[in-house]
Structure formats: C-alpha cells, structure tokens
Amino acid sequence: MATLCRPSIAVPEHIITMEQTLQLCRSVHADHPQLALALRLIENTGVQTRHIVQPIEETLRHPGFESRNRLYEQEAKRRVPEVVHQALGNAGLGVDDIDLIVYVSCTGFMMPSLTAWLINELGFRSDTRQLPIAQLGCAAGGAAINRAHDFCLAYPQANALIVCCEFCSLCYQPTDLGVGSLLSNGLFGDAVAAAVVRGIGGSGVLLERNGSHLVPDTEDWISYAVRGTGFHFLLDKRVPTTMKMLAPALRTLTEEHDWDVSGLDFHIVHAGGPRILDDLCKFLEVDPDMYRYSRATLAERGNIASCVVFDALERMFADGGATEAARGLIAGFGPGITAEMVLGRWAETRHPDVGSLGSARRAEEQAGVG
C-alpha cells in the first residue's frame, strides 16, 4: 500500500494579525452599511495571524491582473523548490525516484504548469508524469492525495510528489464590498506545501481507501468570477452549513471500509472556519480535541486553501504522530461543494527499499525484459 509521508510547509515572512485586519477593515470600509457584521464575522474566525507574500501596503494595492499573476509565478519559483527538497528528504527519496508530480493551486495561473519548470529546474526525470489541478480550491489538497494514491495503486512501485502553492493574498479585490468578500479578506493566508506518496516503503499514513462527494446544486456557493482584474472570490452565506451535507459522506466512506467514523484515532481535515470544525464534532460525534491540529492551522495561518490538510498533518507529525496502525481520516472541502476523503493507518516503519516506476523500467531494460 502507498504511504503519505511527512509533509513540508513554508509560509511567507510578512505577517498580519487579526487586530491589524480589523483596524484595516474599519478604516478602509468606514462607511460600509454592514461593517459591524463584517467585523464580527472576522473576529469569529479565530484567525490570529496570517502570512502573506507582500507587505500589507503592497497587498492593498491592485496593479492589475497581469502584474499580480507575474508576481505569483515569481514567488512560486522562489519558494517551492526548498519545500520540495524538504518533502523528498522526509520521504527518503531523490528527484530520480519521483514518477508523478501533482501540482495544485487556485490563486494564480501558469501554462505550462509549474510542474514543467520543476522538472527542468530541479532535475526530475523527463518521463515524470504531470498532473496540475487548478479548479478545486480548498478541496484540492485532499484531491491531490487521492490522485497520488490512485496512481500508486495502478503502479505499485511508483512514487508521487504533491506540491500545493496558494497565495490567496494576491486575490484581494479592493472593489469587492460584499460581506462574504470582506470576510475572506480576514480569513485566507498564503503558504506552500509538499508531500510524497511512496508506493513502497516510507512512514506516515498508509493509505487504504479514498472517495469523493459532490453536494448537488451547490456550484455557486463557493466560486470565482473571472474578470479583467483577476479572480473575484464569491462566498455564499450558506457555506458554513455545508458539514450537515458532507458529514454523512465521511460516515458512509468509513462504513464502506468497515470502520466507524466516530471511533477513529485521528482526523486531519480542512479548516475553512471554526463552524466547519464545530459541526463536524457534532455530526460525526467526535471529541473537539480531534481537530486540534486543524484549529491550530486556522488560528496561526488562516485558511491556506489546499495547504491546510498538509499543515495540519505536519503538526501531527511534529507532535509525535499516532500509535502504530492507528486509524484515521484526511479530508479536504471546497467548491462544488466537494469533499475529497481518504482513510489510512499510521505506519511508523515500512520496508525501506527505495523504488520508482522509472527505476523499475530501467531494471527491466537492463535485464532484457519487455
């Protein structure tokens, strides 16, 4: 079975606190008719600090979509390589051992994808598969794990690298005055994450089963309007209620695996806001402490989109992990409304042999097979 190894996380050096966010909201939107509501919603997020790629003075300016997207590409190329090398080191692998790169981001656009640049710049093999995922938002972290898992099921000797790059601050739109937009201005942060799924060996979460669930007729609850000024984030007021619809899907997946979602040993889930986590506690009948890692990510870094599940998982690793064979759930939630879910067991030590689809092919060629 494939193993999700310890992730690597990096956040930008510029920090904005909740108090700074509230003060900016008061000053920039002093005449907003729903200012009191927006301030209350931002306070209720529990986000104490966020990291952003530019100083706040620069973030509040809008030089145009072209300029912002250029900055996205520059910052991605500057920040991603170190995180990738750390993730490879955590997995005990090198660039030659990777057979698939899954790159997820919803806050900038590049074509070719950053995967092509990574292969050229960092020396991955030229036959490395590329899988960019651009339109699953916060659910993309879970989707990346699931697609890497699927790949390793199809090719048991393969290894997949996941890279998440989210610069949410580059989507700030000063002309968007809806309460949902003002709330998002105080909720989202920037981060880069990477993790390896090893087909053979490694330690971490031994992946056993994955699944997806789409809530019908909720396409417009979380969305982007793409305009001349870039991506405009649209957030419906019903979004905080989505766990009532998604929690049953989490329960169903575990039941299909002959597990009880209420009796699992760990939960690593996307932290879109405190209401999401509170409702999961209620609907899944789990102790609030089960979501301590997701809550810590939310408080210290905000909603970092597809990076959340990896940040929360890294906190679990840093805290000593779980006992051998402990059962757990990883889930990302995002636009659609979509849930991407995976079940697995904690594995401290597995067979140490390093392999890859590419090395297996080379071995076959040298032996005259195939």
Q: Token pair for residue 354?
A: 């390093």
Counted residue by residue, the chain has a size of: 370
Residue 163: which region, alpha, beta or left (left: phi > 0; alpha: psi -120 to 50)?
beta
Q: Token digits for 269?
A: 């889930």
Q: CB within 8 A of 78, min separation 6: which ones?
A: none
**Residue 168 is among the residues annotated as catalytic for this protein:** no
Judged by DSSP in three states, 145 sits in helix
Task: Find how far residue 218's CA is from the centre of its chain.
Answer: 21
Tokens of 42: 């931002």
Residue 187 CA to residue 15 CA, distance in Å, equals: 13
User: E strands within the chain?
Assistant: 3-4, 8-10, 14-17, 49-52, 100-104, 129-133, 159-167, 190-198, 204-218, 222-227, 230-235, 266-269, 327-334, 336-347
Catalytic residue among 5, 25, 106, 138: 138
Q: What is the β-pairing status of strands 159-167 and 100-104? A: parallel
Catalytic residues: 138
